[in-house]
Structure 1
Amino acid sequence: MRRRKIMHGSTRALIIGGTQGLGLAIARRLQGEGCTSLVVSGRDGAKGEAVAGSLGACFVACDLEDTSSVERLVDSAADRLGGLNALVVAGALTDRGSILDTDHTTWDRMMAANARSPFFAIQRMAKLAIAAGEPASIVNILSMVVHCGQSFLAPYAASKAALANITKNAANSLRTQRIRVNGINCGWMDTPGEDAVQRKFHGAGDSWLEQAEAKQPFGMLVKPEHVAGLASFMLSGAAGVMTGSIVDFDQNIAGAYPE
């Protein structure tokens, strides 16, 4: 069997939201490509410790709604790994709400977790990398909803659109420091989190995934393992000078209309 080329032997990575779904898939991909210095974060301490143990990684608990908690997370990860040169922001709140029924509390929670905390995580990581005189790479997990999104995803779409702009702005600001910042707009994805959301908010039954996938052009929802490959590439030296790029990772094309 052909051996996979090691891309991440010198990577020291923090994955925010790395204990399940896409974040966990990225953690596994990095590990499989040589990364031995890895911190994953999430809210659930017991689950996080178990996941970290299976990866040979470190776990640090973090609440995305608390920006100071996120800043402490970045510092803690850097202390544990002897510095950071890779950051993935994969955690997010996905609560529902439309332009008509979203309340102030939901709006504030979504913006805090999905835009404000990522902003300051990037800021803190960039400052540490600059102080260390090292290049670094950052990948923000976005969503196809940045192009509009369903009516029931109004605050989520707004928060991800804000993060898309943060991605571009940070890439422009940090390029002279050799810090690359890119993003991935993920389409409808098959994750444990999505399963929970479908059951909680949409009354979905056990066969919802099978029914949903049958209607998709490729007969499946987006799979975390596929997106993890792109995230790994973006974080690696193989991406060269790529920065400020936001890639649509979906089978449905933004702006297309039924023919």
Structure 2
Amino acid sequence: MTTHVIVTGAAGGIGGAIAEEFAARGALLTLTDRAPEALERAAARLGRDTAAYPADLTDPDAPAVLVERAWAERGPVDVLVNAAGVYPSLDMADVDAHAWDRLFAVNLRAPVLATAAFARLAVGAGRPGAVVNISSGSALRSRPGGGPYASSKAALEMATRAAALELGRHGIRVNAVSPGFVQVASACNPVSAEYAGAIGANPLGRPGRPQDIARAVCWITGRDASWITGEVLRVDGGSSTGVLDLPRIWQPGDTPATAPPTTPDAPTEGPTP
């Protein structure tokens, strides 16, 4: 039986790769993005089983309308992938209500409302389903200019767990996939060369590719992951395990007697009194 998949943000690098991966596996696709022309090009590349529904997810009604329309016009939905997101460079001291609300409307409110609409329809039809929210390593740690974005992704991970808790008894699994740094060309979320060069190494020694994320999304929505819900799958080359590019506290071979002394102001670690 053909799987019907909705992908938001499908004209972007990661969303587009997710759509392509599902298409390669024979899925019926309903794609949405706020950029109609780019969305139509993406849908045309994927063939006749793909429909393009442009939508502005800052509109509070748009997520539910998208899911309800896809269900009514193209049949019951099996998988919802909330990949749409915006990544402004915005210092916390410069936040205003408009910027904050727009960011959270796309990155948090839209996935939550789309999931709620999907759940209502699936439960009413007695059907199982799977939801994947695209999070970010920023949910665990912020950086200058990334505080509002990091806040939205941290909230999205909690919303993922909350939805999984409540919807599991209906056979609806809700998980998140959290990319590390992935190289994509994006007019919506551009990344400077300086940022890309300073992002730091990960244990696997390369930046991510959109296809890395797409394969993880397809796996976690599939049969092999049927007993997984409420999880955040970090697909980041191991970057969330720690930091590779800090110097050692001691060099190999040093002992407490030969290690360089710390300065009076240097932080030290040890047992608390």
Is the partner of 1:180 in helix, strand or coil?
strand
Moved over 4 A (4+): 211-217
Which residue is 2:232 aligned to? 246
Which residue is 1:75 aligned to? 68
Residues of 2 paired with 1:169 and 1:196: CA distance? Answer: 28
From 75, 92, 111, the equivalent of 2:104 is 111
Percent of pairs with identical residues:
29
Is the CA contact (8 Å cut-off) linking 1:214 and 1:220 kept in structure 2? Answer: no
Instruction: Pick closer, same or farther for the CA change 1:80–1:113 going to 2, 3 Å.
Output: same
Is the partner of 1:18 in helix, strand or coil?
coil
Which residue is 2:42 aligned to? 51
Residues of 2 paired with 1:157 and 1:16: CA distance? Answer: 20
Which residue is 2:181 aligned to? 188
Is the CA contact (8 Å cut-off) linking 1:38 and 1:81 kept in structure 2? Answer: no
Which residue is 1:156 aligned to? 149
Is the CA contact (8 Å cut-off) linking 2:6 and 2:31 kept in structure 1? Answer: yes
Is the CA contact (8 Å cut-off) linking 2:180 and 2:239 kept in structure 1? Answer: no
- TM-score, L = length of structure 1: 0.87
Amino acid at match of 1:54: R
Which residue is 2:265 aligned to? none
Which residue is 1:135 aligned to? 128
Is the partner of 1:67 in helix, strand or coil?
coil
CA distances 1:64-89 after superposition (whole Å, capped 9, x unpaired): 21121121111111123211110000
Which residue is 1:29 aligned to? 21
Which residue is 1:86 aligned to? 79
Residues matched between the structures, number: 243
Between 212-221 and 119-128, report the one with greater CA deviation. Answer: 212-221
Residues of 2 paired with 1:234 and 1:105: CA distance? Answer: 35
Which residue is 1:231 aligned to? 217
Residues of 2 paired with 1:47 and 1:124: CA distance? Answer: 26
Larger helix share, 1 or 2: 1
Q: CA deviation at 1:17?
A: 0.7
Q: CA deviation at 1:196?
A: 5.4
Report the structure number with the largest CA radius of gyration. Answer: 2
Give RMSD over aligned pairs.
2.1
Residues of 1 paired with 2:17 and 2:140: CA distance? Answer: 25
Q: Which runs of 5+ in 2 are unaligned?
A: 249-273
Q: CA deviation at 1:194?
A: 7.7
- TM-score, L = length of structure 2: 0.83
Is the partner of 1:185 in helix, strand or coil?
strand
Residues of 1 paired with 2:144 and 2:66: CA distance? Answer: 34
From 167, 170, 176, the equivalent of 1:177 is 170
CA distances 1:159-178 after superposition (whole Å, capped 9, x unpaired): 11111000000000000000
Residues of 1 paired with 2:239 and 2:78: CA distance? Answer: 33
Which residue is 1:221 aligned to? 207
Instruction: Pick closer, same or farther for the CA change 1:10–1:244 going to 2, 3 Å.
Output: same
Residues of 1 paired with 2:165 and 2:153: CA distance? Answer: 19
Which residue is 1:15 aligned to? 7
CA distances 1:76-132 after superposition (whole Å, capped 9, x unpaired): 111232111100000011111122222221111111111111111000001111111
Amino acid at match of 1:108: D
Residues of 2 paired with 1:106 and 1:195: CA distance? Answer: 15
Amino acid at match of 1:38: L
Is the CA contact (8 Å cut-off) linking 2:212 and 2:235 kept in structure 1? Answer: no
